[in-house]
Amino acid sequence: MFDFDLRRAQRNGTEITLAVIDIDFFKNYNDTYGHLKGDKVLRRVALTLKKHLNRAGDYACRIGGEEFAVITMDMSPEQSYKLLEKIRKAVEDLKIEHSASETSSHVTISVGLYCGVPPMNTTVNNTFRKTDSALYNAKQSGRNRICVYDGSVTEQIRL
């Protein structure tokens, strides 16, 4: 599906947003609370994503383990960042206990964000690599935050 969206954005010269979301220290969560509770966390995070994606054509999906992707079209970088910040805060506000986290006493997420008009020569894999590098930066710089790819990786201060 993302391949279709990426090609459409390239063809129309419109902005596309790809966010990769990782639940912070999720392995520690599963090791501490068990996989059944871990599955409940995955469902609650997924429902939180769904709740915040209100426009037709915006969607979220699980891409493996504790990682999710959010794809939106026709949002400015500022709008995309604000949406992902609302999601980040909403997950934090769930107040799901996580005593094994090194970031917080509750479940949190880290987000890598790519937003822009994709160049004609870019690919899905290239876009995911850029977004993943922003996610890596978010995790390396303390987690529970959003980092944006903008040609290099730049940490964004929470709004």
* Residues marked as catalytic: 66
Cβ count within 10 A of residue 146: 26
For the stretch 2-10, contacts whose Cβ atoms lie closer than 8 Å and that sit 24 or more positions apart, written own/partner, are: 2/69, 2/71, 2/124, 2/127, 3/124, 5/71, 5/73, 6/118, 6/122, 6/123, 6/124, 6/127, 8/73, 9/73, 9/117, 9/118, 10/117, 10/118, 10/119, 10/120, 10/122
Query: Is residue 72 a contact partner of residue 53, using CB atoms and an 8 Å limit?
Result: yes
- Which residue shows structure tokens 């020569």? 121
* Residues 60 and 72 sit within 8 Å (Cβ to Cβ): no
Q: What is the chain's alpha carbon radius of gyration, rounded to the nearest angstrom?
A: 15
